[in-house]
Amino acid sequence: MNLSFDLEHSLKILEDLVETPSPSGYTRDVMKLAETYLAESGAELTRTNKGAVIATFRGEDDSKSRLITAHVDTLGAIVKEVKPSGRLKLDKIGGFNWNAAEGEYCTVHAADGRKIRGTILMHQTTVHVYRDSGKAERSSDNIEVRLDERTGSADDTRALGIEVGDFVSFDPRFEKSGGYIKSRHLDDKASTALLLELAARLKESGTKLPHTLHLYISNNEEIGFGGNASVPENAVEYIAFDMGAIGDGQSSDEYTVSICVKDSSGPYHYGLTRHLADLCKKEGIPHKLDIYPYYGSDASAAIRAGFDVRHALFGPGIESSHALERTHTDSLEAAARLLRAYILSPLAED
């Protein structure tokens, strides 16, 4: 049986995902999209009360199962205040720096379904007026949305249907460039695309799995509680399939799969982590072991919630996380290869 990897299909899914706005708390559309892809795989589908989707593929041993999660919720913002000028004050959704969003085009998702376009800017943007435009703090007090509408007052803006609590999504700017994939929200839609592509290949190949597999598409990871509930009772291994963090002092890069041994929550399960590294060595999969100092995952959230599982974390390396992100198709392929090696392998030892 050939459990192959289709890069072009993965990139098509990835583009569909990143072009579907989904800041944490506003994920209905992207979850429907993920569910549509999973339904085509013939998996057993379960929708949780929090809106996540779990796709189950029965294996030869159904008494002990594996769970792999990736998340589709992203960074974004929410309207904090309609200012007297008619512009919008924002509050962050997820952890990022305002300079990473400054100058980006955005969409305000009004409660009545209207979508109003705008640009995220500093209030003091105009250098011909504001002497401190370059020095002013990039903060929620200074960042605002300039709407692409004729509005000069709070009443004008409210007449458009915009109100406090409306979600704001950032344009992804998806682009393929010489083997690189550039886009906002590769965290974690790159991994999600690989999981959805894997689901399609499982159906196509008729692969028999040694253990039942649950693919958990999470929708609240960026705010800390995406995969901390609805874990199947017989799950013994829990993999967070999420991005590898790149920067000074890091081992991860854009060309290999990154296996995290520790993040801000503490070390991941030693036996399961070593199992992943050993699979890479056995299969010749380019990989790096790494520590992510300012990072938490759905797997660590599940551990905090009290689930008795072995947990681990791996995924493609993503440059400039929570900003204008980038990865390479080599990293996507390495991550996809480890996924396949893992789900076909025996359970890890303690």
* CA atoms of 44 and 214, how far apart (whole Å): 9
Cα–Cα distance list, 300 to 185, 315, 347 (Å): 21, 15, 19
222 is in an annotated binding site: yes
Whole-angstrom CA distances from 265 to 73, 115, 185, 236, 270 are 20, 38, 23, 19, 14
Exposure b/e, 313-328, CB count within 10 A at least 16 = b: bbbbbbbebbeebbbb
Exposed / middle / buried, residue 204 (Cβ in 10 Å: 0-12, 13-18, 19+): middle
User: Which residues does 214 contact at the CB level (< 8 Å), separation at least 6?
Assistant: 54, 55, 56, 57, 65, 66, 67, 68, 232, 235
Rg (CA), the chain: 21
Measured CA distances, 295 to 6, 30, 261, 266 (Å): 30, 24, 12, 10
Q: Given the structure tokens 């829990």, which residue do they identify?
A: 238
Which one from 221, 254, 319, 333 is the annotated catalytic residue?
221
Q: Is 221 tagged catalytic? A: yes
- Has 269 been labeled as part of a binding site? no
Residue 171 labelled as part of a binding site: no
Pair of tokens at residue 350: 């303690």
Residues 238, 68: Cα–Cα separation, whole Å: 6
What sign has the CA pseudo-torsion 306, 261, 96, 321?
negative
The residues that are catalytic are 221
Question: Binding site for Zn(2+), residues?
Answer: 71, 187, 222, 242, 322
Question: Binding site, residues?
Answer: 71, 187, 222, 242, 322
